[in-house]
Structure 1
Amino acid sequence: MDPDILRDYVSEARELLEQAQSDALALECAPDSDAVLASLFRAFHTLKGGAGFLDADALVEWTHHLEDLLDKLRSHVLPVTPTTIDVILKGLDVIQCMLDELGRGVYPNPGPSDLGQRICALASVEDVHTSPPESASENVRPIAEQPTGVESAESGTLQAWQKLKPDGKVGMYVERVSEGKDKGAVCVESASKAGDDAAFDTISDEEFEQVLDALYGHKAPGVVPPAERRVMDSQVASTTVLPGALPQATAPAPVTSVAAVKTERPSSTSETPESTLRVESARLDSVMNQVGELVLLRNRFLSAMQTTIGEHEDLARIAREMDLTVNDMQSTVMRLRMQPCKRLFQQLPRVVRDVSRQLGKRVNLQIVGEDVEIDKKVVDALSAPLIHLVRNSLDHGIETPADRVMLGKNEIATLRISAVHLGDKVRIEVSDDGNGIDAQQVKQKAVEKGLIGQEEAARLTESDAIDLIFRPGFSTNDVVTEYSGRGVGMDVVKKTTQSLRGRLYVYTNLGTGTTIAMEFPLTLAVLPVLYLRLRRDVYAIPISSVSSLIDVDPQRLYQVQGRALYQAGHEQIVPFVDLGEILHQRPIELGTEPTDGILTERGLLVVSEVLGNEDSVVKPIDFLSESHWYQGATLSGKGEVVLILDIANLKHSQAEPKRGVA
């Protein structure tokens, strides 16, 4: 197998498979939708065509069986039922495994025989009330003694057929391309030499599929993958099947990509389709890293020129233009990395369907914000944690229909997945209207499992108790099931969120439901930061976590049950976080030492001085023993290494023993 062709096919086929799964689930909700049936049928037909070019016979056979089943459904010979949807979804799982094998460079093994027999049994159902449809090959006759306009370098390479259309026009069709020849695309030209204007006759998707099946049988080539398109110089002159009367000189028509799930009819206007280019993500990452380095160089240049730039008007203008250009470049490259949350959410309907049926629960899934864009790294990393959150809601949060009725709730629970932009962040929420989280039960289970002691449990607030669900090894289930009880999962959710510079929030009301929210920066490549000074050391914090800058008034500082609180406004009481106490083991002396206050989402952060803001490129610092205090490190405009503080972890660390940081 050609590795380039294989890579392109597998990549596009996976996208097509995701769409097919969405169509199958949509079909269960709208079984009479001919549009969904047609889309799903085309997906299998296209998958089969690409597999045929790769000689992946097992995949060709499997998709052909599913295609036969879909043909029965779209002709309404077979009704759409949960059983048929189950079979289709399991068939898609088999295709996924086959694509994984192709991705490893090996031909896939045949699918499971028992499932294959079920698919064939369903596909073999006949409608006794309907006469058999006219074969696509009927009324198709060889072109006898008529010049086809095709000059073949080798006899028998092409065989053309014509079919009389209802409007009286004659369509030309290619029967086959011989083995060993380039299979990119072919052309048949009309024998008409009357000099008439070119006339194009559009055929429907169904007609095209029927002709392919009639001519190729089980190994119809379907749609040509873009990587395999070639111009057949020695055999033909252009690249499509052109029905109708045409002059001999005809232009090639585009061949549909395997990833094109929905086929658009050619419009009457000559619109040029938007061109796309598939690029490896590693190349985008490399470009983003280089842009990040350029941002750092820009910062250093502006810092170095600060003392002299005011004296030279031309130099100041060049510096401003360079700043704007770098910002535009940075913004453009960051947009290249953005992907819609639909890529993250589209797997969830299948998860909800399977798990809710296993647990005997009825759930209405609502998905909001599929068009919200977020960094590709977040999309890739958040897939498994998001699935766990959904399973957790279904298993722990949502009650059985009988219990919900007893509680006066609708027996159909609501599970809502949403994404929304919040300034320079994206917030993703998983909400259910289940029984909520019992903080007392969580503390009791944590004590039983030895995660905390009785005394510590007694001191925990409700919020701190709920945070225990993210401890490794914690689970409220005593019995291990397929979905819970092992004490793994929620800790992975928290670690993944933190690794993506995100924040995790839990909102719960006992008896009414739970919402778990995750907030992430729009992009992970470049981070705007605020520089600050603690005595002689310089640090940075993400600007996204800063609410405002305030003057610190010692008269507004209070001690309540051993906790330092600050009155930031008339009705705003926030935690007081002394950075000197945490990092230097020596509190900042208010009224004696210079102080500035930074109001953050976690409280008032007290520092020696606020220095200014700058775009930064974050580098990992896992080698530090106190790395949980920091998000990473960056280079300032002066070329100094600066640690970026993690405000949330600093707040939790305030009461713990500290060791100084030089």
Structure 2
Amino acid sequence: MSEFQGMEELLQDFLLEANDLLSSVDNKLVDLERNPGDRGLLNDIFRGFHTIKGGAGFLSATELVTLCHLTENLFDRLRNGELVVTHEIMDVIMEATSGVRQMFRALADNQQPDAAPANLLATLRRAIAGELNQTAAASAPAAVASPVAVQSAAAAVDGGPDWGNLLAAVTDVPGAADEVTMPETAALAHELAKSPEQIIEQASGRRLTDKPGNQGAILGRREGERARDNTIRVDTARLDQVLNLSGEIGLTKNRLNSLRSDILAGRSDADIMSSLDQAVSQLDLLVSDLQSAVMKTRMQPIGRLFQKYPRIARDLARNLGKDVELVLVGEETEIDKTMIEDLSDPIIHLIRNAVDHGIESPAERAANGKPAHSTVRLEARQEGDHIVLLVADDGRGMDPERLRTKALEKGLITSEEANSMDDRQSYNLIFQPGFSTNDVASDISGRGVGMDVVKTNIHKLNGTIDIRTTQGGGTTFVISLPLTLAILPVLLIELGEQPFAVPLSMVREILPININQVQEVGGAAVMVVRGEVLPLLSLSGLLSWQQERVPEYGVLMQTVETAFILAVDGFAGREDAVIKSLEDFRPKGVAGVTTLSNGQIVLILDMKELLGGSATSGSMIRADFVGPQAAVA
């Protein structure tokens, strides 16, 4: 039975508000660590914990109240100037916010949360008493342990450590074990030895697995985890607009019913026909406005997604011994609510990739004349009918030659392919399953799984991901997404008399196919378009339909990996398709269906699935369609 019988609605309201408040607190904590003297931030964070504590008390969540109260007391001493903000105190506070988030998850399952870990509560009490700063002053001067020390500490914890050797490994200070008790040492070693997956889980409330044999679950939720949040916050002004438009449509409907009665009664003069035409035109305009207004109710500021990333970047950087700041730009940009949930984990992977691979170590940055402080920028902006997301770092950049060499070593490409690749194709090698530049897998990366799944999940959202990089100057990942998944602009193409739809975002241009311009290279048909040699694929070949005549038209299409020309028989125009998914039965290469204005049902093709990862997979124009003198040796 639920612990909150009769209070479900109140509990959900509390969790919705408290999660947003805690995400805001996390971001302010990251800012506070960089600006420890900012009293405004101290006061804001204090009020955040106080608000959460009040709501928890109303729900009788005693253990949550206890944790929030201790953290609130610590901030009270900080804002009154009785204590100063140090890295050690910030680590304890971050651990406390992670504990609060874990308790939120228990509340979301309608259960009272368990008590916070005893060592966390003890450390909070020591911090409030001012003892934590004294211990920190007596220990190592470095705020961050080296990755080697972290690994040593982790191994020691697993193996039942000698406490003196363990602390010496963590702090690099001989004899430091004499100054800290055994439980404090264990807590310190455990905290420093956390894996990035644990850091991300604590900071975001989600688990990110990257273990061998579990590649399919990389971006998945934990087994048994509750379904995604289906609620949405809508500005009342937008709801008012929907209500007003529905009222106008009701009036127009009444007018059409009246005109229908007049026509059925035999009146069909010019005035009746003119009135009917005006009513239909008005209805068309109102329905378009209503559709636009309803779509806007699904749009949410992407800042709600961005809120948790500064904390994750901070914890990962501290775990790696790097000084990294995550800068957020364009938080007010709006995106479809249904896409926000699916973007969460791919962006975590990109940020983790930037902090681990992109940003150099402090020693390497110093050797290259770069400041120790590095920046990762997460930016969102709207460009036309697309949302563009950027994840950019100022790190080492990518070396295309090294990428080709690594891919060759792992057997992902052949020598011929490596020699024919340009830089852009080399950068896209990181999206290959099994590709990694790390020689040894670690808790953070090296198994060649993350970036492959990032690309897959972005493609599921009908988006694209591209790479811009400069050696020594950093790397930028550019993600382009449609504004909404509910409506998809499509180009209607024809195969014989049968129409199909392809996403308009993939279409570069439409061109005629002149059989004398089709050449044969290596047994495959190609066309040269403004100096670019492009494979020529037939839609009938992709769909395994019999090809009865030479296609007359080509659609130049672009994916992340390649460009190609799709040979079709004709076109039926452009439409904004309302996608209907095929839940029970979905043929390969079909993303969904839509209904045209004439009532005809049309299949929307999934071109990436049809291509099967290769633009040369058994779907070329037949050899007898190639011009007799066009073969190329």
The two structures have a TM-score, normalised by structure 2, of 0.69
> Mean Cα displacement is larger for which, 337-346 or 360-369?
360-369
State the distance in 1 between where 2:67 and 2:609 align.
Answer: 52
Deviation at 1:618, TM superposition (A): 1.5
Matches within 5 A, 1:207-218: none
Aligned equivalents of 2:316, 2:125: Cα separation in 1 = 27
Give, in whole Å, the separation in 1 of the partners of 2:15 and 2:21: 10
Residues 413, 31 of structure 1: alpha-carbon distance in 2 compared, 3 angstrom cutoff: closer
Q: Which residue pairs with 2:529 in the alignment?
A: 567
Count of residue correspondences = 486
User: Which has the higher mean CA deviation after the structures are superposed, 604-613 or 28-37?
Assistant: 604-613
Indicate the SS of the match to 1:531: strand
CA contact (8 A) 2:580 2:594 kept: yes
Tell me the distance in 2 between the aligned counterparts of 1:600 and 1:527: 17
Give 1:511's aligned residue. Answer: 472
Equivalent residue of 1:77, what SS? coil
Root-mean-square deviation (CA, aligned residues, Å) is 3.7
Q: Which amino acid aligns with 2:118?
A: S
Q: What is the correspondence of 1:98-137 to structure 2 with a 5 Å cutoff?
A: 98-125=103-130
AA at the equivalent of 2:59? L
1:470 aligned onto 2:431: yes
Distance 1:461-1:563 versus aligned 2 partners, 3 A rule: farther
How far did 1:522 drift? 0.6
After superposition, the Cα gap between the structure-2 partners of 1:108 and 1:366, relative to the gap in structure 1 and judged at 3 Å, is: same
- In 2, distance between residues paired with 1:596 and 1:113? 68
3-state SS of 1:528 partner? strand
Q: Determine if contact 1:534/1:608 at 8 Å carries over to the other structure.
A: yes
Tell me if 1:281 matches 2:231. Answer: yes
Quick one: distance in 1 between partners of 2:453 and 2:25?
Answer: 30
Q: Deviation of residue 46 (structure 1)?
A: 0.6
Q: SS where residue 403 of structure 1 aligns?
A: helix
1:210 aligned partner: none
Q: How does 1:225-244 map to 2 (within 5 A)?
A: none
Give the corresponding residue for 1:50: 55
2:553 maps to: 595
Aligned to 1:538, which of 496, 499, 510? Answer: 499
Corresponding residue of 1:644: 604
Does structure 1 retain, via aligned residues, the 8 Å contact 2:551–2:569? yes
2:542 aligned partner = 583
Secondary structure of the 2:332 match is: coil
Correspondence for 1:39: 44
Gap change, CA 1:498 and 1:125, over 3 Å in 2: same
Q: Structure 1 residue 104: deviation in Å?
A: 0.7
Q: Given that residues 565 and 574 in structure 1 are in contact (C-alpha distance below 8 angstroms), is that contact kept between their aligned partners in structure 2? A: yes
How many Å separate the matches in 2 of 1:357 and 1:103?
Answer: 30
In 1, are the aligned partners of 2:314 and 2:325 still within 8 Å (CA)? no
Partners of 1:322 and 1:36 lie apart in 2 by: 52
Match of 2:338 in 1: 377
What whole-Å deviation, never above 9, does each CA across 1:201-238 have from its counterpart, x for those lacking one? xxxxxxxxxxxxxxxxxxxxxxxxxxxxxxxxxxxxxx
Partner Cα distance (1:333, 1:409) in 2: 49
Q: What SS is found at the alignment partner of 1:46?
A: helix
Question: Which residue of 420, 431, 435 maps to 2:392?
Answer: 431
Say whether the 8 Å CA contact 2:519–2:526 is kept in structure 1. Answer: yes
Does residue 19 of structure 2 align to residue 19 of structure 1? no
1:420 counterpart = 2:381: yes
Superposition pairs of residues 44-443 of structure 1, within 5 angstroms? 44-125=49-130, 281=231, 312-443=273-404
**Alignment partner of 1:491: what SS?**
helix
Change (3 A) 1:407 1:521: same
Aligned partner of 2:127: which letter? L
C-alpha deviation, 1:507, in angstroms:
2.3
CA distance in 2 between counterparts of 1:482 and 1:649 reads: 32
Whole-Å separation in 1 of the counterparts to 2:52 and 2:81 = 23
In the superposition, relative to structure 1, how do residues 625 and 325 fare at CA in structure 2: closer, same or farther (>3 Å)?
A: closer
Whether the 8 Å CA contact 2:551–2:568 is kept in 1: the answer is no
- Evaluate the alpha carbon distance shift between residue 449 and residue 593 of structure 1 in structure 2; reply closer, same or farther with a 3 A threshold: closer
* Separation of aligned partners in 2, 1:641 and 1:577: 28
- In structure 1, runs of 5+ residues without a counterpart are 127-278, 299-307
Q: Is the 8 A contact 2:468 2:477 kept in 1?
A: yes
Q: Tell me, what secondary structure is at the counterpart of 2:597?
A: coil
The 8 Å contact of residues 424 and 544 in structure 1, kept in 2 or not, is answered as no
Distance in 1 (alpha carbons) for counterparts of 2:459 and 2:232:
23
Alpha-carbon shift at residue 313 of structure 1 (Å): 3.6
Name the SS for the 1:14 alignment partner: helix
Residue 636 of structure 1: CA displacement? 2.1
Distance of aligned partners of 1:622 and 1:449 in 2 relative to their CA distance in 1, 3 Å threshold = farther
Cα pair distance change 1:408/1:358, threshold 3 Å: same
**What amino acid maps onto 2:46 in structure 1?**
F
Please tell me whether the aligned partners of residues 552 and 597 of structure 1 are also in contact (alpha carbons under 8 angstroms).
no
Mark the CA change 1:59 to 1:580 in structure 2 (over 3 Å): closer, same or farther.
closer
Q: For residues 493-525 of structure 1, what are the alpha-carbon distances to aligned partners after superposition, in whole Å with 9 as ceiling and x for unaligned?
A: 112111111112122333332221111111111
Conserved 8 A contact 2:490-2:574: yes
Distance (Å, rounded) in 2 between the aligned partners of 1:542 and 1:318: 33
Partner deviation per Cα, 1:411-462 (whole Å, 9 max, x = no partner):
3333221111111100111112222233343344344444455555555554
Partner Cα separation in structure 2 for residue 364 and residue 55 of structure 1? 38
Q: 8 Å contact 1:550–1:599 — kept in the other structure? A: no
5+ residue gaps in structure 2? 132-228, 254-267, 622-633
The residue matched to 1:514 in structure 2 has which SS? strand
**Deviation per residue, 1:374-416 (Å, 9 max, x gap):** 1112211111111111111111122112212323433333322
Structure 2 vs 1, CA of residues 393 and 626 (structure 1 numbering), >3 Å: closer, same or farther?
farther
Equivalent pairs: percent with the same residue?
37
Q: C-alpha separation between the residues in 2 aligned to 1:618 and 1:644? A: 8
Contact kept, 8 Å, 1:534 with 1:579, in 2: the verdict is no
1:582–1:420 distance in 2 versus 1, CA, 3 Å: farther
1:114–1:659: structure 2 CA closer, same or farther, 3 Å change rule? same
Question: Does the Cα contact within 8 Å between 2:310 and 2:325 map onto a contact in 1?
Answer: no
Rounded Cα–Cα distance in structure 1 between residues aligned with 2:456 and 2:557: 26
Greater displacement, 451-460 / 384-393: 451-460
Q: What is the deviation of 1:604? A: 5.0
3-state secondary structure, aligned to 2:492: strand
Letter in 2 for 1:595: Y
C-alpha contact (below 8 Å) 2:493/2:568 kept by paired residues: yes
Deviations 1:305-328 (CA, angstroms, capped at 9, x unpaired) = xxx9x9944443333222222222
Confirm or deny: 8 A CA contact 1:428 1:517 kept in the other structure.
yes
SS at match of 2:481: strand
Measured after TM superposition, the shift of residue 559 of structure 1 is 6.7
Aligned to 1:524: 485
Larger Rg: 1
Look up the equivalent residue of 1:641 and give its one-letter code: I
Distance 1:455 1:371 in 2: 47
Shift in Å at residue 600 of structure 1?
6.0
How far the C-alpha of 1:75 sits from its partner, in A, is 0.9
The whole-number CA distance in structure 2 between the counterparts of 1:520 and 1:529 is 15
Distance in 2 of aligned mates of 1:647 and 1:657: 14
Q: Judging changes above 3 Å, is the alpha-carbon distance between structure 1 residues 620 and 437 closer, same or farther for their aligned structure 2 residues?
A: farther
Q: In the alignment, what sits opposite 1:141?
A: none
In structure 2, the partner of 1:485 is 446
Q: CA deviation at 1:281?
A: 2.5
Render the CA deviation track for 1:148-184: whole Å, top value 9, x for unaligned: xxxxxxxxxxxxxxxxxxxxxxxxxxxxxxxxxxxxx
Query: Which SS does the other structure have where 1:281 is aligned?
Result: coil
Which residue matches 2:177?
none
| SS of the residue 1:495 aligns to | helix
Asked if the contact 1:62–1:116 (Cα under 8 Å) also holds between the matched residues in 2, the reply is yes
Q: Answer yes or no: is the 8 Å Cα contact 1:597–1:607 preserved in 2.
A: yes
